[in-house]
Structures are given as structure tokens and as C-alpha cells.
């Protein structure tokens, strides 16, 4: 899931790959609260992971966001 998140950050949010690490925070990457809203919409569409704004806002690092993605993928529909 981390690789998918990195791809989304570089492709859709134009984050420079050199800034991205599991410990990086959205704030350090220059992403604001609107980022969480936009990311929630992107994740719901493709790869189809329903993660709420509140869940994303509560994640402080990219590793935590990737873990949220993994947890949502593992939930049976």
C-alpha cells in the first residue's frame, strides 16, 4: 500500500519523490487539510478504499496513511 500511496502523491499531488518517506508528514510535504479531503476522494475512486477525512486527518505520517489503506483493503465487503 505504501507504493500505491507514493504513486498517488507523485502523480496526483505533484510531491517530489525525494521528499517522500514513511516518516514524512503531510505538512512537511507541503500538503494542507484540503489534501486529506482530496486524498479520501482519490482513494475511494481508485483503488476503491473508503477512508474518511477524519481517519486521514488522524494519521500523522505516510506510514500511518499506508496502514489505514492496508486495513481498509483487508476489510471484507
pLDDT classification of 7: cutoffs 50, 70, 90: very high
Q: Stretch 45-60: mean pLDDT, rounded?
A: 88
pLDDT classification of 66: cutoffs 50, 70, 90: very high
| Digit-coded pLDDT (tens) for 11-32 | 999 999 999 999 999 988 888 8
The CATH number for 39's domain is 1.10.1200.10
* CA angle, residues 51, 52, 54, in degrees to nearest 5: 130
The number of domains in the chain is 1
In angstroms, rounded to a whole number, what is the distance separating the alpha carbons of residues 21 and 10?
12
The answer to whether the pTM exceeds 0.75 is: yes
User: Domain range spanning residue 6?
Assistant: 2-74
Amino acid at each position: 500500500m505504501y507504493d500505491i500511496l507514493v504513486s498517488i502523491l507523485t502523480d496526483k499531488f505533484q510531491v517530489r519523490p525525494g521528499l517522500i518517506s514513511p516518516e514524512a508528514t503531510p505538512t512537511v510535504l507541503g500538503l494542507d487539510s484540503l489534501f486529506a479531503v482530496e486524498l479520501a476522494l482519490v482513494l475511494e475512486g481508485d483503488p476503491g478504499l473508503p477512508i474518511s477525512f477524519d481517519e486521514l486527518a488522524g494519521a500523522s505520517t505516510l506510514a500511518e496513511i499506508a496502514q489505514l489503506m492496508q486495513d481498509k483493503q483487508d476489510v471484507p465487503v
